[in-house]
Chain A
């Protein structure tokens, strides 16, 4: 799974810390997701979609081996 959360964050002009606070997780979690070390739960992905105002598929993409 790949994601473009970093880009979405830039569009919203918010830091990792601010995004973490808005969706109620730690900054480590945002960092791990952005660096593709951790795939978040559906709940967390939906919270991001709500915040970014766009469907999940636009910032989470399946890869060949998924």
Chain B
């Protein structure tokens, strides 16, 4: 079956290889204020030349790319049911994602809301990956 917009199955492995170190880096940046010095660019002289450390940019880029690779890697035998499950899982994840965002909008206030938005950037992909593989596993396990 022809399916658009999917990566080769090997990207699942690449996805994990990119995601796991990036996730560790991201956690270190977020909770332990890690900054790699060599990633600080700019001299910090004046408004146009501000010092920026790019450790968090690297971490987030890795996390997003890793999750994208995992979400868009084709299954070894990507057929019509799997493609159907894929689309259904996207629908699920968008709905749940915005449901969570709506709840958080009313429950979380102030600066903490920025955290909510940060995690919310990733939840669409995470919920999709979990739901999609949960359905495939369920069908795999229930034999005859």
Which residues of A does B touch, CB under 8 Å? 6, 15-16, 24-29, 31-35, 37-38, 40-41, 44
Given the complex of chains A and B, what is the CA–CA distance between A27 and B79 in angstroms? 10
B81 contacts A28, CB within 8 Å? yes
Q: How would residues 61 to 100 of chain B score, 1 for a CB under 8 Å from any chain A CB and 0 otherwise?
A: 0000000000000010101111010000000000000000
A38 contacts B84, CB within 8 Å? yes
Output the least CB separation between B65 and chain A (Å): 27
B139 at the interface (CB under 8 A from A): yes
B139 CB contacts on chain A under 8 angstroms: 27-29, 31-32, 37
B80 contacts A41, CB within 8 Å? yes
Q: How would residues 120 to 144 of chain B score, 1 for a CB under 8 Å from any chain A CB and 0 otherwise?
A: 0000000000000000100110111
Interface size of B in residues (CB-CB distance below 8 Å): 13
A27 contacts B81, CB within 8 Å? no
Given the complex of chains A and B, what is the CA–CA distance between A33 and B142 in angstroms? 12
Output the least CB separation between B101 and chain A (Å): 30
Which 3 pairs across A and B sit closest by C-beta, in order of nearness? Answer: A28-B139, A29-B81, A25-B79
A27 contacts B84, CB within 8 Å? no
B84 CB contacts on chain A under 8 angstroms: 38
Given the complex of chains A and B, what is the CA–CA distance between A57 and B125 in angstroms? 40
A27 contacts B140, CB within 8 Å? yes
B136 contacts A31, CB within 8 Å? no
B82 CB contacts on chain A under 8 angstroms: 26, 28-29
Additional A-B contact list (20), CB under 8 Å, known A25-B79, A26-B82: A16-B143, A16-B144, A25-B80, A26-B75, A26-B79, A27-B139, A28-B81, A28-B136, A28-B139, A28-B140, A29-B80, A29-B81, A29-B139, A31-B140, A31-B143, A31-B144, A34-B144, A35-B142, A40-B81, A44-B80
B142 contacts A25, CB within 8 Å? no
Q: Which of B75, B80, B81, B84 has the most CB of A within 10 A?
A: B81
Output the least CB separation between A24 and chain B (Å): 7
